[in-house]
Amino acid sequence: MNEWDITFGERPWERLLTAKHRGDGVSAANLLTLTEEEGEEALEEALLTMEESGLVLDVSDLPKTAGAGEAARRLRQEIHLADQGLKPEDLPENDPLRLYLQELSAAPAFGEEGQLAQRIAQGDASATEALANLGLRRVLELAKGYVGYGVLLLDLIQEGSLGLWQGICRYRDGDYAAFRDSWIRFYLARAVTLQARANGIGGKMRQALEDYRSTDERLLMELGRNPTLEEIAEAMRWSMEEAASVQKMMDDARQMSRVRKEPEPREESEEDQDVESTAEFRMRQRILDLMASLTPEEARLLTLRFGLEGEKPLSPQEAGLRLGLTPAEVLALEAAALTKLRSKEQ
């Protein structure tokens, strides 16, 4: 441990997306956690990268809307309406959603969408409006599956319609219906994810990850082995579903640091798995032993500077902002901490 391997590369969310292939799913909760400290621009950039790469945005691990207030009441009402089939007569007479549903009911319900899409792909723009009108019912049908995640249904319909338009404009050949639906779903999920960001979900997810990691490390020390998911959930007073969701994000974070072409995985024997588990335990134990010789501030500083918990390494300026130190103070404290560690290794 006389030398430290310090590398700077892609941002965490970039490493996550680079590892994916067209059609792969990406957890919205994980994406929010990885972009939370960079600002909304980073999330917008990540979503654009996903759009261009043909990745699927999965919002199933985001929490449903809770709380009080008029918006929350309306969201809960829309969940009920969607469950009941979303009938216009269940809404007040002048409700904008009711008016839209009534207008949509008068639009054509059936048509040769595949043929129209082929005509547009071949340059016949006259079929565009007809195909778009036929797709609006599908937008509504898919939007009902995203109700309750913090975005009002009319806003979901608007975003889904933008996705429909993208599908129409980008279609070239193949199964038009599947292509159309993928674009509608992406824009619906995109709206939900951006709203979750505005609601501070990314920060909550990051805190959940930190709590999970600290509990895992504490139980490791107490039990002398890797704790089970049930033990972690019990210690944190979480449900198994909540713990499993955070564990999945932890696993994704670990995989991000290994984005490279790897040989075909061989089937591991039980002995291989035991050796890997033992090696991981010893490595973690050694790191904990070394860091125990430092003050809490020194340990936290090295963790931030060298990304010891799986996050990207921070510059002296970034680490200083986290710890309330100047860049010069960061470098001085870092040098003292490294000297202390080197003396312990000798």
Question: Which residue range(s) make up the domain with 85?
Answer: 70-198
The one-character DSSP state at 63 is P
Q: In this structure, are 74 and 191 located in the same domain? A: yes
pTM of the predicted model as reported, rounded to 2 decimal places:
0.61
Q: State the average pLDDT for the chain.
A: 79
Note the pLDDT tens digit of each residue in 263-317: 445 455 554 444 444 554 555 555 666 677 788 888 888 788 777 666 777 777 7
Total domains present in the chain: 2
Largest CA distance in the chain: 81
**With 70 as the cut, is the pLDDT of residue 49 above it?**
yes
Q: In this structure, are 169 and 282 located in the same domain? A: no
Residue 49's nearest CA partner among 16, 90, 5 is 16
> Which pLDDT score is estimated for 189?
95
- 42 within a domain of the structure (yes/no): no
> Which pLDDT score is estimated for 53?
93
More confident residue, 194 or 342: 194
Strands 25-27 and 56-58 turn out to be parallel
Q: Span 43-48, mean pLDDT?
A: 92
Q: In this structure, are 76 and 176 located in the same domain? A: yes
Residue 101 CB contacts under 8 Å (≥ 6 apart), including other chains: 86, 87, 88, 91, 140
Query: Which residues are paired to 58 by β-bridges?
Result: 27
* Rg value, the chain, Cα: 25
- 209 within a domain of the structure (yes/no): no
- 38 within a domain of the structure (yes/no): no
Q: Where are the alpha helices (DSSP H) in the chain?
A: 12-18, 28-35, 40-53, 70-83, 96-105, 113-121, 128-143, 153-170, 176-198, 201-223, 229-236, 240-256, 270-291, 296-306, 316-323, 327-345
- 89 within a domain of the structure (yes/no): yes
- 146 within a domain of the structure (yes/no): yes
CB atoms near residue 12 (< 10 Å): 23
> Which pLDDT score is estimated for 313?
74
**Domain termination site, one of 198, 224, 249:** 198
Note the pLDDT tens digit of each residue in 234-257: 888 877 877 776 777 666 655 544
CATH code, domain carrying 305: 1.10.10.10
The torsion region of residue 63 among left (phi > 0), alpha (psi -120 to 50) and beta comes to beta
> Which pLDDT score is estimated for 276?
43
Q: In this structure, are 283 and 185 located in the same domain? A: no
The Cα 84–Cα 90 span in angstroms is 9
The one-character DSSP state at 11 is -
- 331 within a domain of the structure (yes/no): yes
More confident residue, 260 or 97: 97
- 303 within a domain of the structure (yes/no): yes
**Domain termination site, one of 163, 198, 233:** 198
**Domain termination site, one of 172, 198, 224:** 198
Query: Which residues are paired to 27 by β-bridges?
Result: 58
Residue 280's nearest CA partner among 222, 244, 226 is 226
